[in-house]
Amino acid sequence: MQGSSRQKLDQRTFRAQVLECRDKGYLLSSKKIGSGAFSKVYLAYATQERIQHNPRLASDLRGKRHTMVAIKIISTAKVPVEFSRKFLPREISSLHATYKHLNVVQLYETYQGSQRCYLVLELADGGDLLQHINAMSARRCCPGLEEKEARRLFRQLVSAVAHCHNSGVVHRDLKCENILLDERGFLKLTDFGFASQLGLKNSLLSTFCGSMAYTAPEILMSKKYSGEQADLWSLGVILYAMVTGKLPFKEHQPHRMILLMRRGPAFPPGLSPECQDLIQALLQLCPRARLGLQQVATHRWMLPAAHMLFRISTAPAESVVASREDSAPPRPLQQLRPLQHQETPKNGSGQVPAPLKACPRQAAGSARPGIRSIAVTNLPPGATFALSHVHHQERAGALPGQLRAGEWIERRPDKPFIP
């Protein structure tokens, strides 16, 4: 009896959503393509009348063969007050700030219903990067993507993150599940629910959020952190996942995760030294020792198309990201070091992890042999409100034998954030 009542309530809710979408010029389908703690995402169709009255929608759909969009529906009646007042506006603001870029999901418009908020988004129906890695691993009978395919996607991801940082937005939840693919094979960065816009120069963040498997060590150690440098760590984890089919560090407890991070990632046989070097240069325990986005773009594993990375935006006059450091001198690329078998603890695969490079950074004359010494400085540290009373809860989930999603660090509604 209780199940029947619940089903009837869901049907009434969906009918109300259909009517509210139709009033705005969208035909909501029953196909659910995503869901979150307080939201659901449905496939929908834009009417011709709506397309004519929405310049963003008309511009984006002009090059496509369909009128489909994704509509994210947030139940404002059920979400915590802190979420509706702070985090939802931040997500919308971040999507507006990062419009328009080929590799960032586009926000066409938002509107408010009686008990719901609607975000009309660009459709990317090719699945997420996690699904793509698992599908290609099964097809190849070998874990991970081929380096050529990983390079193609990683270039687009770096371009998207560079555009966000250049627009004053740090994502803070970069992971394979938040990276979508469209029908043309383009990568689309999505889910800006934990995003923060940069504030005062050199100010730091303190929110403990994201997914543990992708979270930078300084966040796990409860230190204040630069959002941009934390995003760089996540990029290293994603690249490792792309080329190996697994996550570099997997633990349920933060202190044990930090021990694995100190040992560094272990690489399978056959992975190119250049790719290993780029991953190690991103997975630096010291935030300032990580390669900046400009250095990532000019890394020899990324060549020869690195010069196009920061011009992939469809917005006019997109400039190259000029990176800066607060007080430190420019730093060249770090030395390429072959894997060495030392007397250090082994991971489950039996391989000896490569140690993390020490902080602070190397001197200016210690560039990698065989790689051009490119002296560029890091991006400015991110900033946002310092938040407290953060509670995290761990949850793992994936099929055995596949790349597993990270433990998710979640906010509890009964523990509000206090700026």
Is residue 11 within 8 Å of residue 38, measured between CB atoms?
A: no
Residues of the chain by 3-state class (helix, strand, coil), percent to 5? 35, 15, 50
Q: Give the 3-state DSSP-derived string for 167-228, with helices as H, strands as E and coil as C.
A: CCEECCCCCHHHEEECCCCCEEECCCCCCEECCCCCCCECCCCEEHHHCCHHHHCCCCECHH
Alpha-carbon distance 132 to 186, whole Å? Answer: 12
Q: Which of 173, 182, 191, 277 is catalytic?
A: 173
Known catalytic membership, residue 173: yes
C-beta atoms surrounding 43 within 10 Å: 18
Alpha-carbon distance 213 to 247, whole Å? Answer: 7
- Taking alpha carbons only, the member of 67, 54, 65 closest to residue 99 is 54
Angle, alpha carbons 115-118-121 (nearest 5°): 165
Exposure of 358 by Cβ count < 10 A (0-12 exposed, 13-18 middle, 19+ buried)?
exposed
Buried b (16+ CB within 10 A) or exposed e, 368-400: beebeebebbbbbbbbbeebeebebeeeeeeee
Is residue 237 within 8 Å of residue 283, measured between CB atoms?
A: yes
Angle, alpha carbons 294-298-303 (nearest 5°): 145
Distance of alpha carbon 150 from its chain centroid, rounded? 16
Distance of alpha carbon 239 from its chain centroid, rounded? 12
Is residue 285 within 8 Å of residue 249, measured between CB atoms?
A: no
Q: Give the 3-state DSSP-derived string for 319-330, with helices as H, strands as E and coil as C.
A: CCCCCCCCCCCC
Angle between helices 227-244 and 273-282 (to 10 degrees): 150
In this structure, which amino acid lies at residue 368?
R
Active site residues: 173
